[in-house]
Structure 1
Amino acid sequence: MNVAAGAIAGVTEILVCYPLDVIKTRFQLQVSGAENAYKNLGDAFSKIIKQEGVGALYRGIVPPIMVEAPKRAIKFTANEEYTRFFKPHVQDAQVLSILTGMSAGFTESIVVVSPDLIKIRLQDKRNAGMYSGTADCVAKIWAQEGFAGFWKGVEATAYRHIFWNAGYFGCIQYVRSVLPKAETKEGKMLNNFVAGSIGGTVGTILNTPFDVVKSRVQGQIAAPYKYNWSFPAVATIAREEGFGALYKGFVPKVLRLGPGGGILLVTFDVVTTFMRKNFL
């Protein structure tokens, strides 16, 4: 049940919010002072549509769609399983939710690292015309970088998911506890949307520096590589481009993952409730 609910919730969120992910990646790969750089969200939308067409806003959507079902299913299923595992040993509910979120995030990262790398390569405007599609991108990565190439950025991916899930599930637990108790189905949906949106926003604040590093690491095609391990890469970006560069792409990212976190939680809860009533 959790597998199906997580899958439906994840695909719903990505179909609604994917163009923001493309723009987020473009900002993260953009080195400060680059020629024809995107100035803000509106400028990025305008330039991408004008220069590359509307389809560019959905470039690279196939890998995340393919992985979205197992990714979101793992997020919620792993969180519940880790909760059962840690609950006898952790008494504080808030600490428990953060710990289980971190553990679920690490598990999730193993599944998404390779599809994310393919997505980054397809989204990068420097690679325009390099790949004819997803299958061609996979074939060229295999030919040029081998099996190990698909695991590039796995460490930064793990940190990204650990911090996001810790913020997301930790906030859901807290926000639900302070909101007025919902008396109706609509009230419960609103509470879930508020809790999920706040959780998604906090998770995004926590994990964006590692997401920037992940995009930089995975966007590298030819050696020598400038970015390798996460914390040295964070230090390099901050030193060369300023601390603010670690939050490049934050606006489109939080616009996606803030409300997206709410959409995710509401959809998951609606689908699981429906399945319990009709199939169990």
Structure 2
Amino acid sequence: MDVEEVDYEALPTTSVATNMLAGALAGITEHTVMYPLDSVKTRMQVLSPSPQAIYSGVMNALTRISTAEGSATLWRGVTSVIVGAGPAHALYFATYEQCKESFSSPNNEHNHIAHASAGACATIVSDGLMNPFDVIKQRMQVHGSTYRGVVECGLDLFRKEGLGAFYVSYPTTLMMTIPFQAIHFSTYEYFRKKLNPRGTYDPKTHIISGAMAGAAAAALTNPLDVAKTLLQTRGAVTDTKVRKASGLVEAFQLIYARNGLAGFTMGAKARVLSHMPATAICWTTYEFLKMFLSKQPGFATETTA
């Protein structure tokens, strides 16, 4: 059968195993391909950076980091993402598909609330698993990091700052990622239905819809991402007030006090440039694998008795 003839609207009912495996592979692909831009975003969001880590723009940051510290620095911490993103995204997509099916109307009409709610549920589950890995990743991304590996970084954080260091940003992460994913999923589903009303497998639709969804969600939630970065990297700076920040309100106050409203746009361009291709890649990979795996004997569509 030609892939263009696949009844793609039937795929949300594929097995949980299919959704989890496709989601895991898509998540790893998404986070690793655009990782250097994520490193730049983190550097640009640090509230009290060292003089050597103040950049005038995305290209300036990429050039200076590569020249002064080596191009490998842009990939520091990627192992943490690979280890965490697989299981986190497996839970993420499996939860999303199950919730979308439960929340959507029987006639499969586009429902912003259903898709946004499914995205929020998926986020709560996946972020609980991913947050510690994200903390380790950002500690390894900051300027001057001397950690040689994920285990070394994780053990050092636990020893010096305790278990709370891995979850101090979790409430802020949820406050960011729930609206992020609500915007992300509802935007993606809207453009997917508009660009491909027949519901057939169409890579171009997934690329465009994914890029639009990623750009919108990244831009609108950037202020919360700046606060999250502050909380996750607080132990890597010497600024006493930053090191003592313990929640979203304090983070917002510090950001505004130091940089005004402009502080909430720090790293926004790098974040959008990172998320647009990343989400396009993620959705394209996920939708392809879901289509492909659903046709394999070991991942057959589930049936009800």
Given the two structures, how large is their TM-score scaled by the length of structure 2? 0.83
- Equivalent positions of 1:27-38 (< 5 A) are 27-31=44-48, 35-36=51-52, 37-38=54-55
Structure 1 residues 206 and 102: alpha-carbon distance in aligned structure 2, compared to 1, 3 A threshold: farther
Supply the distance in 2 between the matched residues of 1:134 and 1:121 (Cα, whole angstroms). Answer: 10
Q: Deviations over 1:71-117 (max 9, x none)?
A: 221221111222244347xx971111112212222222111110011
State the secondary structure of the residue aligned to 1:125. coil
- Equivalent positions of 1:73-152 (< 5 A) are 73-87=90-104, 93-126=111-144, 128-129=145-146, 131-152=147-168
Matching of residue 51 in structure 1 with residue 68 in structure 2:
yes
Q: Deviations over 1:116-173 (max 9, x none)?
A: 11111111114x32x2322211111111112222222111111222121111101012
Supply the distance in 2 between the matched residues of 1:29 and 1:77 (Cα, whole angstroms). Answer: 33
Supply the distance in 2 between the matched residues of 1:84 and 1:12 (Cα, whole angstroms). Answer: 25
What does residue 20 of structure 1 align with? 37
What does residue 226 of structure 2 align with? 212
What does residue 274 of structure 2 align with? 256
CA-based RMSD: 2.3
- Which consecutive aligned stretches of 4+ in structure 1 deviate over 6 angstroms post-superposition? none
Supply the distance in 1 between the matched residues of 2:33 and 2:135 (Cα, whole angstroms). Answer: 21
Match of 2:283 among 251, 265, 268: 265
Supply the distance in 2 between the matched residues of 1:259 and 1:179 (Cα, whole angstroms). Answer: 18
- Asked whether the 8 Å contact 2:110–2:189 carries over to 1, the reply is no
Give 1:31 deviation, angstroms.
3.8
What does residue 25 of structure 2 align with? 8
Match of 1:197 among 211, 231, 236: 211
Give 1:183 deviation, angstroms.
8.7
Supply the distance in 2 between the matched residues of 1:154 and 1:180 (Cα, whole angstroms). Answer: 36
State the secondary structure of the residue aligned to 2:68. helix
Match of 1:244 among 248, 262, 275: 262
Moved more, 55-64 or 73-82: 73-82
- Asked whether the 8 Å contact 1:182–1:191 carries over to 2, the reply is no
Task: Show structure 2 runs of 5+ residues with no match.
Answer: 1-17, 301-305
What does residue 168 of structure 1 align with? 184
State the secondary structure of the residue aligned to 1:20. helix
State the secondary structure of the residue aligned to 1:38. coil
- Asked whether the 8 Å contact 2:168–2:247 carries over to 1, the reply is no
The count of corresponding residues between Structure 1 and Structure 2 is: 274
Q: Deviations over 1:168-221 (max 9, x none)?
A: 101012112322546975xx1111111111111111022211111111111112
Moved more, 220-229 or 78-87: 220-229
Q: Percent identity?
A: 26
State the secondary structure of the residue aligned to 2:296. helix
- Asked whether the 8 Å contact 2:192–2:205 carries over to 1, the reply is yes
Amino acid at match of 2:271: K
Task: Show structure 1 runs of 5+ residues with no match.
Answer: none
Structure 1 residues 104 and 183: alpha-carbon distance in aligned structure 2, compared to 1, 3 A threshold: closer
Supply the distance in 2 between the matched residues of 1:103 and 1:230 (Cα, whole angstroms). Answer: 21
